[in-house]
Structure 1
Amino acid sequence: MTTAEARPADSGKLDSAVLKVAGVVVLGAVMAILDTTVVNVALQALTLQFQTSLDTIQWVVTGYLLALATVIPVTGWACDRFGTKRPYLLSIGLFLLGSVLAGMAWNIESLIAFRVLQGLGGGMLMPAGMTIMTRAAGPHRVGRVMAVLGVPMLLGPIGGPILGGWLVDAVSWRWIFYINVPIGAIAFLLAWRILPKDEPRAAERFDFPGMLMLSPGLALLIFGVSKIPAEGGVSSLSVWLPGLLGLALIVAFVLRATRIPNPLVDLKLFKDRTFSVAMITMTFFMVAFMGAMLVLPTYFVLVRGESALQAGLLLAPQGIGAMLTMPVAGRLADKIGAGKIVLPGIVVILAGLAVFTQVGAETPYPVLLAGLFVMGLGMGMTMMPISAAALQTLTQRSVARASTSMNIIQQAAGGIGSAVVSIILASLLAGKFGVPTSQGQLTATVALMNPQTHAMAAGASADAFASTFLWALVLIALCLIPALFLPKKPVAPAEDPELVTTETAA
């Protein structure tokens, strides 16, 4: 029997079994992604609660991010060695335990430690979930699968700030962690009952030396980059030393990985042209996208004086736009090729973001909301088709490792993009108010709160934001170059040698 004959006639559709698996994975992903955005709204409340500085409280976010970067490289091997179900259940369990303990935190040190534990679970949720869904659906339906998995990626930026603002204002900051308990418990039970028990593959030797290079290397690099806004540049020892050490460890890992049979991250995947082009496009996109997402709510809070909850509500049109185009883009990416979807999507994002390059202190809200909606339409046409293109030409056996590589790139590029755009904004604000870079945003906040200087400060701050959005526009425009090389027609998945051998024998 051939592979084509083995597929059902309606193989282009997602059947009920695949949709059930998708529902379980999406529930877990919603929990993890919501938690990355919901905490940002609570940072001010946490600062007051623990009587600490902003530099210290930022570790509630940074510690989580470092844990994510540390555990992601292990996920691909774990999914091969133990099957996908057991690592997925373990990741939900760790995330639940970290959530409960974080809600019970008694000081800032304990909160940071429990957030790291949360991150160890959260880091496995997305790559393991992506592997489960892709294996269940098959490479020929990966575009539709990515469209489904994109739902939590949209709900997080929309619902996170809204939910976080409401919980902090109406209940307690502790409930931004406790809210995960009922969601996680349901996700765990459903995963236990619904997810198929896949058999572990032939055991490979785990690359412990590679883990000791790549995981700390990523953590040190992200740590160094995350310190740039607080230190006001890259000249500080606490910025360049960990960053340099991180880069050295990553380079050492790459050199070693090309010479051993089973590295932690399979660099042979990058010999696949489609995968390589998709990863380059993803890198540029995540740097620009995460940077822009950081600046947008800050504009509403700092310049327009909105609360965190109101800022979250104002960002909703972006998610609504993406929800309209994402399902259609997923289907079209499978039928006509990702390149024909991604390129127009980037152009649409540029059109929406262009509105914000002209932003002022009193730009009408309908204009801003329209710009956000257009950006959302473009996001829905871009993010998931890039991921789908990366996986479409790979064998089933390669999907777990490819998902791992993709998630590492997304986390690293997103963290770097946030830091880069933060530095641009801080530098521009500092230049407007004639203060050091590290004091730019604080000085702007104080001036905006003073009625006598509010008008001047609002105009100057808005100019700084407009220039920052222009930089984000340039970064997103750079995505057009690698996107030109994405496939512009449907591509057939590679044959899995094990599957071909089995079918031939039959």
Structure 2
Amino acid sequence: ALGGVAQDSWVLILVRFITGATAGFMTPAGFSLLTTTFPEGPLRNKALAIYGAIGASGFLLGVVVGGVLTSLDWRLVFFAPAALALGFLVVGWAFIARDPSRDKASTNQRGQFDLAGGLTLTAAMVSVVFGIVTVGENASNPFGPIAFGVAAILAGVFAVIERRASDPLIPAGVVTRGLLPWASSIGLLFIGAFFAWQFVLTLYLQELLGWTPLQTGLAFSAMGIELLIAPFLTPRLVERFGNAAVMVTGLGAVAVGFALTLRLDATSGFFDLLPSLLLLGVAFAFIYGPLTAAAVEGVDESEHGVAGGIVYTGFQFGAALGVSAVTIVLVGGDPGPAQLEDYQRALIVPSAAAGLALLIGLLLSVRQRTRSIQVAD
């Protein structure tokens, strides 16, 4: 709601900070509720597939509805989610039961909030993004290397804080457990690539081809095929082939989809873009749920919330890195309007990130297959 009444850009930046912070509370908690409610196996995989479908649909629906609302008044892009969030708050307060064990726990038994760790880690990530943008705009600007140095120092401070904290933000060893490091890396690259691709493609369609926000949003709605696949087909495929195999298939789809957009030119239309949009819909259906399910494989149930927090931090950090990197490549130091070759060059960034995510996914799949053979022997 604050964003809807904003008169200055700094207010919008503040709003983005607030929404990011609240997402940091909600997503790990929701993820932990699911993984601790449903036992590991087909039932949890199905629950996470539905959860993933709804989450991915949020991305897709936001693009479509955002185009509609922007065509009416850009402030509605803030007011509409505020009204929706208020409804969720009322319903959640009424229907989401309290955890009895937390109610009975004493204050000393309850977890503490690692404010120092959270602020330090956030500052480190912001410094990295700032350094990338600064170096991209002007390689000779000393603030770029300084920002990277500050990020390294903050990362070291964060490690010290976590080692000494009684209830650390990230408990020792959890980052390297099970499939969490693999899932986090893939999630960072995949979401980073998607946000970079979406950002460039939106500008390409509206600035170069002259599409309206409504036309752009309706075009992206083709990715809604994900809604038909994720709840029904994905759980069956996971049950038969496993999370890693299904996720790699999705990564292959997104890599091909991004590669196909490299051929777009000034005369391209909706049907030239359609194959990529459909492949992206398939990718979200095959990646989002299996990725979140794979993230908790080998992680203690008590640390599922932490695992979810790490994965979704990777999502957010990846989005920031992706948009920052692709903006630098798109602008290329030229303050004038972007030309066709600028968009074509920028689209290489998400394609490369998707290719790297696919490579990591293939390595994970090979690792899982090798371990299965060793266990069988």
Which TM-score tier does this pair reach, normalised by the shorter chain? 0.7 to 0.9
Instruction: Check 1:339–1:193 CA distance in 2 against 1; reply closer, same or farther (3 A cut).
Output: same
1:53 corresponds in structure 2 to none
For 1:146, the aligned partner's letter is: L
Which stretch shifts more, 274-283 or 190-199? 274-283
Cα distance in structure 1, aligned partners of 2:289 and 2:218: 24
For 1:323, the aligned partner's letter is: L
**Matched residue of 1:139: which SS?**
coil
Q: TM-score, normalising length from structure 1? A: 0.64
1:390 corresponds in structure 2 to 295
2:311 corresponds in structure 1 to 406
Instruction: Check 1:235–1:252 CA distance in 2 against 1; reply closer, same or farther (3 A cut).
Output: farther
CA contact (8 A) 1:321 1:374 kept: no
Which stretch shifts more, 296-305 or 243-252? 243-252
Residue among 195, 208, 219 paired with 2:126:
219
Q: TM-score, normalising length from structure 2? A: 0.84
* Larger relative contact order (Cα-Cα within 8 Å, sequence gap ≥ 6): 2
Larger radius of gyration: 1
Residue among 226, 232, 236 paired with 2:141:
236
Cα distance in structure 1, aligned partners of 2:341 and 2:120: 43
Please list the CA deviations of residues 55-112 of structure 1 after superposition, one character each: whole Å capped at 9, or x if unmatched.
xxxxxxxxxxxxxxxxxxxxxxxxxxxxxxxxxxxxxxxxxxxx2x333335444454
Instruction: Check 1:169–1:109 CA distance in 2 against 1; reply closer, same or farther (3 A cut).
Output: same
1:339 corresponds in structure 2 to 244
Cα distance in structure 2, aligned partners of 1:277 and 1:264: 20
**Matched residue of 1:265: which SS?**
coil
Which stretch shifts more, 143-152 or 379-388? 143-152
For 1:134, the aligned partner's letter is: T
Shift of 1:148: 2.0
Alignment: residue pair count = 361
CA contact (8 A) 1:326 1:381 kept: yes
Cα distance in structure 1, aligned partners of 2:270 and 2:115: 53
2:218 counterpart of 1:324: no
CA contact (8 A) 1:337 1:490 kept: no
Cα distance in structure 2, aligned partners of 1:350 and 1:221: 26
For 1:165, the aligned partner's letter is: G
2:51 counterpart of 1:162: no
Cα distance in structure 2, aligned partners of 1:250 and 1:336: 38
Query: Unaligned stretches of 5+ in structure 2?
Result: 373-377
Residue among 31, 36, 39 paired with 1:135:
36
Shift of 1:366: 1.2
Shift of 1:214: 1.6
Cα distance in structure 2, aligned partners of 1:283 and 1:161: 20
**Matched residue of 1:203: which SS?**
coil
Shift of 1:126: 1.9
**Matched residue of 1:424: which SS?**
helix
Cα distance in structure 2, aligned partners of 1:142 and 1:242: 42
1:195 corresponds in structure 2 to 96
Residue among 295, 298, 304 paired with 2:203:
298
CA contact (8 A) 2:255 2:358 kept: no
Cα distance in structure 2, aligned partners of 1:162 and 1:174: 16
Instruction: Check 1:112–1:463 CA distance in 2 against 1; reply closer, same or farther (3 A cut).
Output: closer
2:328 corresponds in structure 1 to 423
1:123 corresponds in structure 2 to 24
Cα distance in structure 2, aligned partners of 1:125 and 1:226: 29
Cα distance in structure 1, aligned partners of 2:248 and 2:15: 41
Residue among 209, 220, 224 paired with 1:315:
220
| 1:235-384 superposed matches below 5 A | 235-254=140-159, 256-257=161-162, 262-317=167-222, 319-327=223-231, 328-384=233-289
For 1:128, the aligned partner's letter is: A
Shift of 1:206: 4.4
Instruction: Check 1:288–1:249 CA distance in 2 against 1; reply closer, same or farther (3 A cut).
Output: same
Shift of 1:192: 1.4
Please list the CA deviations of residues 383-434 of structure 1 after superposition, one character each: whole Å capped at 9, or x if unmatched.
321221111332221111111111111111221111112222222xxxxxxx
Cα distance in structure 2, aligned partners of 1:467 and 1:226: 17
CA contact (8 A) 2:220 2:277 kept: yes
Instruction: Check 1:139–1:360 CA distance in 2 against 1; reply closer, same or farther (3 A cut).
Output: same
CA contact (8 A) 1:220 1:242 kept: yes
**Matched residue of 1:443: which SS?**
coil
Please list the CA deviations of residues 332-387 of structure 1 after superposition, one character each: whole Å capped at 9, or x if unmatched.
32443112212222222222223212111113431211222123212321232122
Which stretch shifts more, 266-275 or 406-415? 266-275
1:462 corresponds in structure 2 to 340
Instruction: Check 1:110–1:161 CA distance in 2 against 1; reply closer, same or farther (3 A cut).
Output: same
**Matched residue of 2:217: which SS?**
helix
Seq. identity, %: 21
Instruction: Check 1:381–1:174 CA distance in 2 against 1; reply closer, same or farther (3 A cut).
Output: same
Instruction: Check 1:113–1:469 CA distance in 2 against 1; reply closer, same or farther (3 A cut).
Output: closer
Cα distance in structure 2, aligned partners of 1:349 and 1:143: 22
CA contact (8 A) 2:250 2:284 kept: yes
